[in-house]
Amino acid sequence: MTTTEQDRVLEAAEAYARAELGGDVTGHDWWHIHRVVRMARHLAGREGADVFVCALAALLHDVADEKLNDSKESGMRKVEDWLAGQPAREEDRAHVVEIIANMSYNGGANPPMRTLEGQVVQDADRLDAIGAIAVARAFVYAGWKGSPIYDPALPPRESMTPEEYRNGKSTAINHFHEKLLKLKDRINTPSAKAIAEERHAYMAAYVERFMSEWDGIGE
């Protein structure tokens, strides 16, 4: 494929992702995608990954999200069908599908990404969940779910059943401990790791400050 052909596929993917995610308020809005694509391109350049595959997977990575579809499977089918209509190499299309299918955190239980391109896109998505923007996203998500910012009366996560936890008996602050503060140790590439460490320190300091204001006068 020539660069122009690749650019055309990327433009089409952008239009598709914008149409699918434009109105989303759950943290998968278009600007999340925009940030992930930009970061994926940056990391791909530094790590020597295929920029076209990374950018395409980043553009499409949340179209299949189960929160926006009947199921993960129907979401994946939608992405596969869309890709089948694009003049990209079969090999690249299959690679992008594989990356998107394996992106999610899943409590840290998913197998590691097989390819460098997959590692880059996963890192770019995870970096958007660490740092100042991530703080905003966590509170917006909690608000959308109807969960409180924090609630000292709620039992710790360890003593909840998985069902209680899924039913939203959680808080935004809980989500930092549950997931966001663990992400920096699940970063794949050295370039992303450096950014993650710095963003993590900011976010950890934020949570500490939140708790000290909660418990007293915040000094």
Residue with smallest beta-carbon separation from ligand ADP: 27
How many helices and strands, by DSSP H and E, does the chain display? 10, 0
| Token code pair at residue 62 | 């949340």
170 binds ligand ADP, rule: CB under 6 A: yes
The one among 40, 134, 135, 203 contacting ligand ADP by CB under 6 A: 134
Binding mask 37-66 for Ni ion (x = CB under 5 A): -------------------------x----
How many residues in the shown chain lie near ligand ADP by CB under 6 A?
A: 15
Binding mask 87-126 for Ni ion (x = CB under 5 A): --------------------------------------x-
| Token code pair at residue 10 | 């990327």
Q: Is 106 left (phi over 0), alpha (psi -120 to 50) or beta?
A: left
The minimum distance between CB 128 and Ni ion, in angstroms, equals 6
User: Residue 88 or 134: which CB sits closer to ligand ADP?
Assistant: 134
Residue 27's binding partner out of ligand ADP, Ni ion, none, with CB under 5 to 8 Å set by partner kind:
ligand ADP
Alpha-carbon 78 to chain mean position: 19
Q: Give the C-alpha separation, 150 to 79, whole Å.
A: 36
Q: Give the C-alpha separation, 117 to 43, whole Å.
A: 10
The minimum distance between CB 135 and ligand ADP, in angstroms, equals 9
127 binds ligand ADP, rule: CB under 6 A: no
Q: Is 37 left (phi over 0), alpha (psi -120 to 50) or beta?
A: alpha
| Inter-residue contact 138 to 176 (CB < 8 Å) | yes
Which spans of this chain sit near ligand ADP (rule: CB under 6 A)? 27-28, 62, 104, 125, 129, 134, 137-138, 141-142, 170, 172, 175, 180
